[in-house]
Amino acid sequence: MSITRYMKNFLRYRYLLFELVKKNIKLKYRRSYLGVFWTLLEPLLTMLVLTLVFGTFFGKNDPQYPVYILSGRLLYAFFSSATKGGLKSISNNSSMIKKVYVPKYIYVVSSVISNFITFLISLIVLVAVGAVLKVQPTVYMLQAVVPLAILLVFTMGLSLILSTLNVFFRDIEYIWSVLTMLIMYASAIFYQTDRVINTGNGWVFDINPLYMCIANFRDTILYGKALNPSYTAVSGIVAVVTLVAGAFMFYKKQDKFILYI
């Protein structure tokens, strides 16, 4: 199937995609008294806790340390929740898949996009905290969309891979929960990277595309610097390769899903 036919097929189901995204967001806040407000409150509370716990060790000389934590925490939270949601998107919609034909990737895509929309809403907290702590706005803040776009592509590709694997190997869900925790500690959410680099373990960051996106995002919104060309190129290439690999794997295996869900 050509790329043109893929695009036409995708556009044909765009209204269904919109409805699934809306449904996912509504389900996320079902029976919640705080609703969408929790999207703003949760990262703020997490930032306060992490600042209190780690501020003495890592940020005692940095008045903008809470912004450092919050920027990393928000990007990681999106990556973690989106991949975990995408991973279960096929199995969770098994009854629908058995009854009605729609492109199965729609379920994965809608899960990732709904998490991304929630993430964008949560950025309001980052703007507010940055203003309170007097983070100086610069023209480089406009470049922040680049690492966010790369992270979205990378997360989408990884979710396609994980959702495919999860259909055949249900233990993937538990393995990925452990791996996401490992990725969090390797992404410098609450510590400065020079402490790790000085121990000779800086290679951890050089193989972690999530950290590269976080570092670039922090450079643009916190430090008033341009994107790191190396991090941008490597994370961008990894993201595109992951998306292509995920789409290929999903396409090759999707006809067998019905036998396992």
Per the structure, how many domains does the chain have? 1
Structural domain for 17, as ranges: 3-260
| The pair of three-digit structure tokens given for residue 67, joined into one six-digit string | 């912004």
> What's the pLDDT at 25?
85
> What's the pLDDT at 253?
93
> What's the pLDDT at 62?
79
Residues of the chain with pLDDT under 70: 1-3, 31-35, 59-61
Burial of 140 (0-12, 13-18, 19+ CB in 10 A): middle
Give CA–CA dist 221/133, Å, rounded: 13
**What's the chain's Rg over C-alpha atoms?**
19
> What's the pLDDT at 33?
61
> What's the pLDDT at 31?
66
> What's the pLDDT at 59?
61
Residue among 162, 44, 23 at smallest CA distance from 96: 23
> What's the pLDDT at 16?
87
Give CA–CA dist 205/227, Å, rounded: 16
| The pair of three-digit structure tokens given for residue 27, joined into one six-digit string | 């389900």
